[in-house]
Amino acid sequence: MSTTTDKIKVIKLEDLAVQIGKEVLVKDQSIAIFRLSNGDVRAVSNRCPHKDGPLAEGIVSGEYVFCPLHDWKISLVTGEVQKPDDGCIQTYETEIIDGYVYIGGLG
């Protein structure tokens, strides 16, 4: 891992399979990274707001991930849990530079 300004390099883009989440640890935070079917790369907290389910292991459909524990549906764009459930997860900025994924907004 290396940094440029406030962004942190976390993974090679080619190591992210489409619609398969990957967990990375950044500054002691567990972050789930996803490459969506439209090519977008999204990064969110790897803890489901329900009971800490590991979202990187969830099933991805479109812009949503389904928590592997109890199937809550969470937007990877806004971080919002979809009805009928409630909650929100932290989302992080992502940027692709020279074939690597960088995450920003970690504070």
Instruction: Give the binding site for ligand FES (CB under 6 A).
Output: 48, 50-51, 53, 67, 69-70, 72
Q: How far is CA 51 from CA 34, 46, 55, in A?
A: 21, 11, 11
Least distance (Å) between residue 8 CB and ligand FES: 26
Least distance (Å) between residue 89 CB and ligand FES: 10
Q: For residues 11 and 89, which CB has a smaller minimum distance to ligand FES in the complex?
A: 89
Return d(Cα 101, Cα 84) in angstroms, integer. Answer: 33
Q: For residues 9 and 50, which CB has a smaller minimum distance to ligand FES in the complex?
A: 50
**Cα atoms in the 13 Å half-sphere on the side-chain side of 106:** 20
Q: Write out the two tokens for 54.
A: 């590991």
Least distance (Å) between residue 106 CB and ligand FES: 23
